[in-house]
Chain A
Amino acid sequence: MTMTTKPRLMQGNEACVEGAIVAGMRFYAGYPITPSTEIAELAAEKLPKVGGKFIQMEDEIASMGAVIGASLAGLKAMTATSGPGFSLKQENIGFACIAEVPCVIVNVQRGGPSTGLPTLPAQGDVMQARWGTHGDHPIIVLSPSYVREVFDLTIRAFNLSEKYRIPCILLMDEVVGHLREKVELPDPTTLKIINRKKPDLSKIGHYNPYQDYDGDGIPPMVNFGDGIPYHVTGLIHDITGFPSTKPEVTEHLISRLMRKIYNNIDDIVEYEKFFTDDAETVIVSFGSTARSAIRAVKILRKEGQKVGLIRLKTIWPFPRKAIQELPSTTRNIIVAEMNFGQLREVVEAASRGRFDIIGLNKYNGELISPDEVIAKVREVHKNA
C-alpha cells in the first residue's frame, strides 16, 4: 500500500480508488466511460497488488451483474461509470436493492441527457440516482466536494452499504473527479471499516437468509460458498428467500427495506452548515458547486450579508432535518446545482412553505462560479 501521511497531489478519481481499497474493495467490474475511466484504470493496476480482482466487462449491465455476483461470493465490490452507463446499470441496481447485496456504484456525472456533454461537468443525475431503477426502494447517495472527501466518502459508501446491505451510490461530478488537489490521507489503521454482519449460527439454528433476526431490519448475510446453501432472487421473496406473491409477504419485505434505512437516518445523513445560525439566506448545494458557494458565502459575510450554506454530503435519503432546523431568521433558500432544478423541488417539499426557494441553475456544461452565487444572493437580498 502506498499510503503515507505525506501530502500528495491526487485526482478525485484516484482518491476514490485509494479509499475503496482501504475500505476493503477486492473486486471491480466496469466499462470505460469519460469522466470515470481513471477509476477503472487505477483499479486494474492496484487491485491485483492486494490480491483483488479487476475485470473489464462487455458493458455496464454486465459490470453491475458481476459486481453483485462477486459481493454475494463475499468480496467488497465496486463499479464506476457516468451518465449513459449509469442508466444501463439501473435494472441490476434494483436487483441489489431487493436482494440486499452490498455494493458501491460510482457515477462521475457528465452533461446529459444521452451522450450529452461527455467531458463537461453536470449534476443532472440527482433524480436518476434516487429513482433510476423501477419500483419502491430506498437508496443511499453520497456526494463529495473535495478530493480528500472523495477518499472519505468512498470508504463511507462501502461502510454504509455493508452495514445496511444496500447499494450505495457515490455521486461525483466531472470537476471533483478530475480535480487535482494536495491531500493528506489518514493512516488506514485509524479508520473504521465496517463489514457485513454474519449470523450467529449457534443461536439461530436454521438460517433464513432474509429473516430480521436482530430487529434492525438488516438480515445477517452468509456468503455463497460458506457452506449454507440458500436462494437469492429478484422476485419478491419471503424470509426463506423464495418467491411469493402474497400481499403480506410483499408488504413485509418492502417495508423492511424502507425501515432499515429510514430508521437510521441520523447515521446515514451527513451535511455541513456554515454561518446558518443567523442567516437570512441559506444556500443549499453539494459536489463541486458547493465549493463556489463556500467562497461566495465567505466574501458576502465580509460585506456583512447574512448568508449561510448547507453543504450536503448525503443527498439521499435527503437530509430534511437540515432544512427544518434552520433558524427563524432564515427567509430564503437558494439551491445551487448544475441542473435544471432537481434538488430544488426536494428542498421545497422539505421546507413546507416556510421559505422562499430560489434556484441557481446551470446546465450548459459550465461550473457555477462564486460570482454567480454572489450575484444571486445580492439579487435576492435586493428584492427582499
Chain B
Amino acid sequence: MRKSLEKYYRIDKLPHIWCPGCGNGIVTGALVRAIDNLKLNKDKICIVSGIGCSSRAPGYLNFNTLHTTHGRALAFATGIKLARPELKVIVLTGDGDCAAIGGNHFIHACRRNIDITTIVFNNNIYGMTSGQYSPLTPLGAYATTAPYGNIDRNFDLCKLAEAAGATYVARGTVYHVPQLIKFIEKALQHKGFSVVEAVSTCPTYFGRKNKLASPVKMMEMLRDNSVTVKAAEKMSKEELTNKIVIGEFLDVNAPEYVEEYMKIIKRAQGEE
C-alpha cells in the first residue's frame, strides 16, 4: 500500500477477514484512491454499510463508520445525511444487501435523489452466508441454494437505479481498476444519488460453484466478458447474454432531496 494512503485505513484492524483473491479489497482500495484523488476532508466523510462480507469494509477505513443491519444501510445513511448535510455519506453494500433485503430502500433512495454515493460490491452471490444465489446471480449459474442452476431472473442493477431515479449510474469491475476509481470519483463529486456497481469476485463461493475457483480465473472472466457501453449498443440481445456492460449509464442533474428540504425549512419559517 502507498504510504500516503495509510491514513485512510485502520491499519491496526488488518489483516482483514476476506479470503485470498476476494475482490472486496480492490473495491475498497478504489474508494480510498478516489477519496485521496479528490482530497476530500476525511473528518466529514461517513461510511455506512449493511451486512455481508463486503459490508465489513468500513471497519478497516478510518472515517466515521457505521455497520448497520442487513439491507438497511441506506435507511441509516438517509438519516445521517438529512441530519447533517455537510457530511459526505457513502454507502457500501453487497448485491444481496442492496438488491434483495435492501431493494426497497435502494429504489426509494434513488427516487429521492438524496446526496449519497452507493457502491455495490456485486460478487453475484451471498458470500457471508456461504454461497446462496442473490437477485444479481446470473440465470443458469450455480449456488448452494441453486444446485440445479439458477432460474431466478436477475436484476440489471444499473437499469433499476436509472429507472428508480438515481442521477449518476456507472458499472465497473475489479479487473478494470483505474476506470472503477474514476467512476467512484465522479460519483463522489456528483450532487444527488449516485450508484457505482462494482462487479467483484468471490472465488470461494461463486467461483467454486461455477468452475472459476481460482482468483485468476475469475479475473479472466471479468476481462473476457466485459464490454463497454459503446460496444454494447451495437450488440444484439443474444450477443449480450452473460456479458458485463461497463461504463457510465447516466450523469444528469435533478433536485436533490436535502437541498429541497432546506427550502421547506425556509418556507416554514416564513423566509420565502
Cα–Cα distance between A235 and B128 once the two chains are bound (Å):
14
- In the complex where A48-B264, A69-B48 touch, is A61 in contact with B63 (Cβ < 8 A)? no
- In the complex where A65-B76, A73-B80, A225-B84 touch, is A231 in contact with B68 (Cβ < 8 A)? no
Cα–Cα distance between A57 and B44 once the two chains are bound (Å):
25
CB neighbours of B64 from chain A (8 A): 224-225, 229-230
> Once the chains bind, are A53 and B75 in contact (CB under 8 Å)?
no
> Once the chains bind, are B69 and A92 in contact (CB under 8 Å)?
yes
Is B67 positioned at the interface, with any CB of A under 8 Å from its CB?
yes
Question: Which residues in window 75-111 of A have CB below 8 A to B?
Answer: 75, 77, 91-92, 95
- In the complex where A72-B66, A95-B69, A229-B63 touch, is A62 in contact with B105 (Cβ < 8 A)? yes
- In the complex where A58-B108, A225-B43, A227-B43 touch, is A73 in contact with B59 (Cβ < 8 A)? no
B65 interface neighbour in A57, A71, A231, A235, Cβ under 8 Å: A231
Main secondary structure of the interface of B (DSSP, over half): helix
- In the complex where A73-B87, A74-B84, A225-B87 touch, is A234 in contact with B68 (Cβ < 8 A)? yes
Number of A-B contacts defined by CB within 8 Å: 138
- In the complex where A48-B265, A73-B79, A224-B46 touch, is A65 in contact with B84 (Cβ < 8 A)? no
Cα–Cα distance between A61 and B62 once the two chains are bound (Å):
28
B68 interface neighbour in A53, A95, A225, A229, Cβ under 8 Å: A95
Is B13 positioned at the interface, with any CB of A under 8 Å from its CB?
yes
Is B268 positioned at the interface, with any CB of A under 8 Å from its CB?
yes
CB neighbours of A75 from chain B (8 A): 83-84
> Once the chains bind, are A229 and B42 in contact (CB under 8 Å)?
yes
- Distance of A98 from chain B, by nearest CB (Å): 11
Cα–Cα distance between A267 and B82 once the two chains are bound (Å):
33
Is B77 positioned at the interface, with any CB of A under 8 Å from its CB?
yes
Cα–Cα distance between A61 and B78 once the two chains are bound (Å):
13
- Distance of A188 from chain B, by nearest CB (Å): 18
Is B86 positioned at the interface, with any CB of A under 8 Å from its CB?
yes
Is A68 positioned at the interface, with any CB of B under 8 Å from its CB?
yes
Total interface residues in chain A, CB < 8 Å: 43
Cα–Cα distance between A227 and B68 once the two chains are bound (Å):
21
CB neighbours of B81 from chain A (8 A): 69
- Distance of B114 from chain A, by nearest CB (Å): 9
> Once the chains bind, are B79 and A27 in contact (CB under 8 Å)?
yes
Is A155 positioned at the interface, with any CB of B under 8 Å from its CB?
no
- Distance of A315 from chain B, by nearest CB (Å): 26
Cα–Cα distance between A91 and B70 once the two chains are bound (Å):
10
> Once the chains bind, are B72 and A61 in contact (CB under 8 Å)?
yes
> Once the chains bind, are B67 and A232 in contact (CB under 8 Å)?
yes
Question: Which residues in window 25-73 of B have CB below 8 A to A?
Answer: 42-44, 46, 48, 58-59, 62-69, 72
Is B104 positioned at the interface, with any CB of A under 8 Å from its CB?
yes
Cα–Cα distance between A21 and B104 once the two chains are bound (Å):
30
> Once the chains bind, are A74 and B75 in contact (CB under 8 Å)?
no
- In the complex where A62-B108, A229-B42 touch, is A69 in contact with B75 (Cβ < 8 A)? yes
> Once the chains bind, are B59 and A231 in contact (CB under 8 Å)?
yes
Q: List 28 A-B contacts (CB under 8 A).
A: A27-B79, A48-B267, A48-B269, A49-B268, A51-B265, A53-B83, A55-B78, A57-B75, A62-B72, A62-B74, A65-B75, A65-B76, A65-B105, A66-B82, A68-B79, A69-B80, A70-B80, A70-B82, A70-B83, A72-B76, A73-B46, A74-B83, A75-B84, A91-B69, A224-B84, A229-B63, A229-B64, A229-B65
Further pairs besides A69-B83, A229-B65, A243-B59: 12, Cβ < 8 Å: A26-B83, A65-B75, A66-B82, A68-B68, A69-B78, A70-B83, A71-B83, A77-B83, A224-B80, A230-B65, A231-B66, A234-B68
Q: Which residues of A contact B (CB under 8 A)?
A: 26-27, 29, 45, 48-49, 51, 53, 55, 57-59, 61-75, 77, 91-92, 95, 224-225, 227, 229-235, 242-243
